[in-house]
A and B are shown apart, each in its own frame.
Chain A
């Protein structure tokens, strides 16, 4: 399968990339690691006239630490994210979930920013960054702007990025002393998640003080399980957690496909939420 013809530019700075996009208009696409975009081009599900390859822009790569947040360059590969000591220390949920993305060869090319900008609700990292209350920083012709993760994912494969903007970095508030777990159910080792649940839990004196839950593939966008989060406040012990997890699918709109019906997904969201919260809260 051969993609339709397109032009190709490889800018060396964010400014050059923004200029290339502005010049091309809506028929341009940003090429990051290409692990989602290239299969789409080969299947001719996308027909950009221009690819702007941001894969060689050094300023978009790497992890740095600020006082309250980790700043991860959008072009940092999954392989580098999961191996990064700062990520492992301050955003363990992101490291753990990234280890489950696809397979090693895909993780060598695919990038955090590419995965988020692609905005596939079945991808693991959008729900994880949503649970982490991350922020996405975009640069466009009118400068930089910061978009909270909860405003970023607007619809299936749609984000708040404008066509002339480049996602340059992802800011993750330092997690502090939160337990975490990413639970994912899929039929084959490298398959997309049928359902995934990203959980952060803060405990206080044996009780759950606060929980944050992001759901993968439970609707056209990744979503927070707000009802379960509320029900978990003050939970103590597995029975409380199991009861609260019953609310995990409230307000979701999962689709039915060959991997499972919407009802099955709702059921799995409840099961995986219970498991993930118990694991994140640690041994009782």
Chain B
């Protein structure tokens, strides 16, 4: 067992974990943060994407011990503490960017990383920025629209 200290969605945790425990299992099974789903479990689909120290990562491809000392944000850490949606979450809702919703947490976390690097992306840049995240329902059209809408809102907020 290895002792880790990690901050998840603003809450500090200390836990003893087996080195082989994956970050996604730590989040879901130990902390009960089931907003981050497990999709393919092979690093391909992006459903389990979270932020680790400010960058998007696939939490099925990170060990919990590698997150020791780090700061993790899951989709559950977005928005206001009272339950309000953040701009990406709201845009996904308003643009109907989901059907079954399984890919949505990962899409939103990947889109956050994309907009941080490129606050004003073209539709093509959005598609490339999300190429590590698979959606089997929507055909991606409304997901791209949602990310562009959130980007516009971010631009307006800055001007």
Do A and B bind? Answer: yes
Residues of A within 8 A of B (CB): 1-8, 10, 31, 34-35, 38-39, 41-43, 51, 53, 55, 79, 102-106, 108-109, 189-190
Residue B62 interfacial (CB < 8 Å):
yes
Chain B nearest CB from A60 CB (Å) reads 15
- In contact, A104 and B56 (Cβ under 8 angstroms): yes
- In contact, B113 and A38 (Cβ under 8 angstroms): no
- In contact, B41 and A1 (Cβ under 8 angstroms): yes
Nearest B residue to A109 via CB reads B57
Residue B95 interfacial (CB < 8 Å):
no
**Interface range, B side:** 20 to 34
1/0 per position for B62-93, CB-CB distance to A under 8 A?
11011010000000000000000000000000
- In contact, B2 and A8 (Cβ under 8 angstroms): yes
Complex: A105 Cα to B61 Cα, angstroms: 10
- In contact, B61 and A38 (Cβ under 8 angstroms): yes
Complex: A190 Cα to B20 Cα, angstroms: 26
Nearest B residue to A77 via CB reads B55
Quick one: which of B41, B62, B131 contacts A189, CB cutoff 8 A? B131
1/0 per position for B40-51, CB-CB distance to A under 8 A?
011110100100
- In contact, A55 and B66 (Cβ under 8 angstroms): yes
- In contact, B43 and A35 (Cβ under 8 angstroms): yes
- In contact, B58 and A106 (Cβ under 8 angstroms): yes
9 tightest CB-CB pairs across the interface, nearest first? Answer: A103-B132, A8-B19, A189-B131, A108-B55, A3-B20, A105-B56, A38-B61, A103-B131, A105-B58
10 contacts between A and B (CB under 8 A): A7-B19, A10-B68, A31-B66, A34-B62, A35-B43, A38-B43, A104-B114, A104-B131, A108-B113, A109-B62
Which residues of chain B are near A3, meaning CB under 8 Å? 20
Chain B nearest CB from A132 CB (Å) reads 25
Which residues of chain A are near B128, meaning CB under 8 Å? 189
Complex: A109 Cα to B43 Cα, angstroms: 12
- In contact, A105 and B18 (Cβ under 8 angstroms): no
Complex: A6 Cα to B25 Cα, angstroms: 17
- In contact, A104 and B43 (Cβ under 8 angstroms): no
